[in-house]
Amino acid sequence: MKRYLKVLLLASCAALATGVAHANTLRFAEAQEISSMDPHAAREDFTLSLLANVYEGLVRWNADLKIEPALAESWEALSDTKWKFNLRKNVKFHNGNPFTADDVIFSFTRAGSPGSPFAGLLEPIKEITKIDDHTIEMTLKRKYALLLNDFAGWYILDKEFQESVGAEKPIDLSTTTGGAMTTQGVGTGPFKLSERQPDIRTVFVKNPDWWDKPQHNIDEIVYTPITNAATRVAALLSGEVDFIRNAPSQDIARIESTPGMKIMRAPHLRNIFFGMDQQSAELEGSGVKGNPLADVRVRKAIYQAIDIEGIKRSIMRDNSRPTAVPLAPELPFYDASLDERFPFDIEASKKLLEEAGYKDGFTLPMDCPAGSFINDERICQAVVGMIAKVGIKAQLNMHTPVQFDTELPAGKYAFYMLGWAGLPTIDAYNIMSATFHTPTGDLGAWNPKGYSNKHVDELIEKIGTEYEPAKRQEMISEAVKTHRDEVGKIMLHQQFLTWGMSDKVNAIVPADEYTRFWYYTMK
Amino acid sequence: MISLLATRLTSVVLVMLVVSGLSFCVFNFLGDPVNNILGVNATLEQREELRVALGLDQTTIVQFWRFVERAAVGDFGVSYRNRQPVIDLMLVRLPATLELVLTATLTALLIGIPMGIYTALRPKGLLSRIVQLVSLLGISMPQFLIGMLLILIFSVELRWLSAFGRGETVRIGWWTTGLLTVSGLKALIMPTITLAVFQISMIMRLVRGEMLEVFRADFIKFARARGLSDRAVYLTHALRNSLLPVITVVGLQIGSLIAFAIVVEAVFQWPGMGLLILQAIEFADFPVMSAYLAFVGFSFVMINLIVDLTYLLVDPRMRVK
């Protein structure tokens, strides 16, 4: 009997202790799993988004997506290619080690090492020199306008810790070790890792020694990947999780009508559009001579045949905003005066096709991903029906996202759906250099055989090196306008984020889709 | 018996080679994992560098040979998706699937066989008819639907059971078990039922059909003529003779359940092999896929071997040969 009493007593003590220690636990579920705890091993949005709570860069994005100081307290440009950063003092890593200039230099060498996914991001930096423990100087290889934007996604690690676990280099997939950072990690951020079972459960607890004054009141975050969307929604509705990032459109009404649940909406940076082969002499499988897509009138005809409001109403259930330019309003240098669509007009479309010499239409091979963008499959199917009305017979091929992302840049598609958000740079330059620029070297990788205009190419390159905001704005607006008028892409819409959560949670929904838990509060 | 073992063991190696060889041929159509690893902003040069480092620039045959070489010494590489050594990953996932499949099979046998016997004995009874009708539903309903219905009722509405995961697990060596904790057992209920529904129906129908067949056989008439009790006739003579095909089918089903519990594991976020392969396919995680397929080939051959050995136990005639 005595023994049982003891057990009972212990059990209730334990219950009490855990009850007190974790007053506010945020249980979070999403389809994906982070690739590892190594913030330099994968440049993938979801991993970087969750790890932003554990690791910090020299700067960070605040709640309004503006750059603010993080591990660097202040900075100044000494010349066009030389910057000085004053590092924050009295910052401690989760293991108690102090943060110093050596950690920044170590993280630069680590993330910038050949084979690291961040080597490209840090490529403009020639060298970093230590002035003292809390001052560094950075020399650039050339003028580069987006240094700070890029730094927000480059997280700083503790040199000593990395060396002690033998993880001086990012996890290398060609070796067999896997590395310590699949389940360990030490940063300076508002939360620290306390438990990690890959694919099952990852727990973060509040960092009581965080340098910043916490606005959040969360003690513990329990992350569980739940692959199946229906199960994820069920887990939210049954109260087993408090927060899911992307609620599927068909479940939004159900979540909103459940007492104690809510949906938080916000526009996403991602704009969805159709890209086209405008360079090939012939369009294979079209049944007509030449390449109809090389003719701006044909591109405009397809554009005007698409009933974008209909897509918004019946497929997106009003969780989208039809757009005319690929820059979202949440992005710096967005120019609202340019965001005006060519109207939906079947007659005008038919007339354009007739002028271009395709009165009887043609066959259009069309390639779409299934599962990359919100309702991608259904939108493509709807568009097939819409352009059939002006005589264009689309042959729709659906692909898995991984196959799509391989074949698209390889130039295998003539007419394809694509979405671009400009992450993690959050600047027009990222969108333009990847999807506007004529494919040359590293630029235009996601515009194979696509839009090409010499003047726009020149503008884009200048946008990448111009520091003066007014001049950047002028060039960005000009490039966007030219691209819009020449129908470089057939724009569709800007997606909305629809995050489902319990009433207890008060979140912020930033346009880059990052989960910045240090702004969250719980009742 | 020894020669049976010997031939089977050599065929294991052959089957594993063929299956993983085939899987390498499929990879080319699946897509390029490099995109997922480096992100959309990577330069062409970086992509090419990683492709070379991972050996993806080689021809299928060279890639396959390298895989066989490394696999021969037990090295299956690192998962592209979550950066763990593939062997560790599979060892973590295997217990989850095995526990699920075994509880489902046990449940199916414990319910299916008695129900089959009952419906065979009273083919015209009202209860038999109801059971038959329900089993028709069990065979024709997709697992996905059954799983979601259970979640809707027991998780969302009643809030009795967890919609996802394995609950708390206990570690015994490298094996993790959910059988020793309350939350682990509760977590097993819905996935087990979902996985077992089809099997219950199938086993019941199989037992019923076989027994009705056996009832018409001469030896049953003789048994009755000898004045044996009903119990002895039905359970000792009829049932035993009906079980051979049941063993074959159940054995093969265990194999396919281990390999293809994918739907159930995806619906309940059950951290087993099925979910692993689903995630691997989505990511083009080649090391996991090739190791997994080799493993599936291995388990099918092994299960067939066990089924053959069980025949010997159940059917004395086979022992004589």
CB atoms B32 and A406 under 8 Å: yes
Pick among A43, A241, A402 to test the B interface (most B CBs inside 10 A): A402
Round to whole Å and give the CA distance between A136 and A191. Answer: 26
Tell me which residue in A35, A114, A238 faces B163 most closely, judged by beta carbons: A238
Number of CB atoms found within 10 A of residue B217's CB: 13
The mean pLDDT of B127-138, rounded to a whole number, is: 88
pLDDT at A115: 76
Digit-coded pLDDT (tens) for A324-374: 999 999 999 999 999 999 999 999 999 999 999 999 999 999 999 998 999
Pick among B28, B32, B40 to test the A interface (most A CBs inside 10 A): B40
A405 touches chain B (CB under 8 A): yes
CB atoms B43 and A120 under 8 Å: yes
CB atoms A117 and B165 under 8 Å: no
Pick among A173, A222, A254 to test the B interface (most B CBs inside 10 A): A173
Helices (DSSP H) in A362-400: which residue ranges? 376-388
The dihedrals phi and psi of B30, each to the nearest 5 degrees, come to: -80, -35
pLDDT at B231: 83
Number of CB atoms found within 10 A of residue B228's CB: 15
pLDDT at A176: 55
Q: Please, which pLDDT band fits residue B320 given cuts at 50, 70 and 90?
A: low
Place of tokens 């946008």: A463
State the smallest CA–CA distance between residue A395 and chain B in angstroms: 20
* Prediction ipTM score: 0.86
CB atoms A234 and B155 under 8 Å: yes
CB atoms B267 and A228 under 8 Å: yes
Place of tokens 């990577």: B42
Q: Which residues of A touch B44 (CB under 8 A)?
A: 441-442, 445
Q: Is the pLDDT of residue B138 over 80?
A: yes
State the smallest CA–CA distance between residue A457 and chain B in angstroms: 18
Peptide bond into A170 cis (omega under 30): no
Round to whole Å and give the CA distance between A185 and A254. Answer: 38
Tell me which residue in A41, A177, A231 faces B267 most closely, judged by beta carbons: A231
State the smallest CA–CA distance between residue B54 and chain A in angstroms: 5
Tell me which amino acid residue A113 is.
S
How confident is the prediction along chain A (523 residues), in pLDDT tens digits per residue?
444 444 444 444 444 444 444 489 999 999 999 989 999 988 888 999 999 999 999 999 999 999 999 999 999 999 999 999 999 999 999 999 999 999 999 999 999 988 788 888 899 999 999 999 999 999 999 999 999 999 999 999 999 999 999 888 888 777 655 578 889 999 999 999 999 999 999 999 999 999 999 999 999 999 999 999 999 999 999 999 999 998 998 899 999 999 999 999 999 999 999 999 999 999 999 999 999 999 999 999 999 999 999 999 999 999 999 999 999 999 999 999 999 999 999 999 999 999 999 999 999 999 999 989 999 999 999 999 999 999 999 999 999 998 998 899 889 999 999 999 988 889 999 999 999 999 988 889 899 999 999 999 999 999 999 999 999 999 999 999 999 999 999 999 999 999 999 999 999 999 999 999 999 999 8
Q: Which of residues 234-273 of A touch B (CB under 8 A)?
A: 234-235, 237-240
Q: Which residues of A touch B38 (CB under 8 A)?
A: 42-43, 117
Tell me which amino acid residue A384 is.
V
Q: Three-class SS of residue A420?
A: strand
CB atoms A407 and B31 under 8 Å: yes
State the smallest CA–CA distance between residue A179 and chain B in angstroms: 8
State the smallest CA–CA distance between residue A142 and chain B in angstroms: 18
CB atoms A44 and B36 under 8 Å: yes
Q: Which of residues 407-426 of A touch B (CB under 8 A)?
A: 407, 424-425
Q: Residue A183, class by beta-carbon neighbours within 10 Å (0-12 exposed, 13-18 middle, 19+ buried)?
A: middle
Place of tokens 């099952």: A200
Round to whole Å and give the CA distance between B36 and B284. Answer: 8
DSSP 8-state assignment for residue A311:
I
Pick among B83, B97, B158 to test the A interface (most A CBs inside 10 A): B83
State the smallest CA–CA distance between residue A30 and chain B in angstroms: 11
Tell me which amino acid residue B46 is.
Q
Round to whole Å and give the CA distance between B79 and A13. Answer: 41
Tell me which amino acid residue A200 is.
I
CB atoms A239 and B35 under 8 Å: no
State the smallest CA–CA distance between residue B214 and chain A in angstroms: 45
CB atoms B159 and A239 under 8 Å: yes
State the smallest CA–CA distance between residue B133 and chain A in angstroms: 29
Among the listed residues A61, A65, A62, A40, the one whose alpha carbon sits nearest the alpha carbon of residue A51: A40
Please check whether residue B178 is in contact with residue B188, taking contact to mean a CB–CB distance below 8 angstroms: yes
Q: Searching chain A, which residue's CA lies closest to the CA of residue B156?
A: A238
pLDDT at A22: 47
Tell me which residue in B41, B82, B282 faces A402 most closely, judged by beta carbons: B282
Number of CB atoms found within 10 A of residue A168's CB: 13
Round to whole Å and give the CA distance between A493 and B117. Answer: 62
Q: How far is CA A396 from CA A367, A376, A413, in A?
A: 6, 12, 11
Q: How far is CA A384 from CA A314, A379, B237, B240, in A?
A: 15, 9, 65, 61
A38 touches chain B (CB under 8 A): yes
Tell me which residue in A175, A227, A442 faces B266 most closely, judged by beta carbons: A227
Q: Is the pLDDT of residue B117 over 80?
A: yes
Q: Residue A178, class by beta-carbon neighbours within 10 Å (0-12 exposed, 13-18 middle, 19+ buried)?
A: buried
Q: Which residues of B touch A120 (CB under 8 A)?
A: 41-43, 46
Digit-coded pLDDT (tens) for A363-400: 999 999 998 999 999 999 999 999 999 999 999 999 99
Q: Which residues of A touch B53 (CB under 8 A)?
A: 115, 172-174
State the smallest CA–CA distance between residue A11 and chain B in angstroms: 15
Q: Searching chain A, which residue's CA lies closest to the CA of residue B29?
A: A403
Question: Quick one: what percent of chain B has pLDDT higher than 70?
Answer: 98
Among the listed residues A119, A181, A272, A36, the one whose alpha carbon sits nearest the alpha carbon of residue B43: A119
CB atoms A231 and B54 under 8 Å: no
The mean pLDDT of B219-236, rounded to a whole number, is: 84
The dihedrals phi and psi of A73, each to the nearest 5 degrees, come to: -80, -35
Round to whole Å and give the CA distance between A393 and A385. Answer: 9
Pick among B164, B171, B278, B289 to test the A interface (most A CBs inside 10 A): B164
Q: Which two tokens stand for residue A404?
A: 């799509």
CB atoms B45 and A175 under 8 Å: no
State the smallest CA–CA distance between residue A51 and chain B in angstroms: 14
The dihedrals phi and psi of A136, each to the nearest 5 degrees, come to: -135, 155
CB atoms B38 and A117 under 8 Å: yes
Pick among A27, A177, A228 to test the B interface (most B CBs inside 10 A): A228
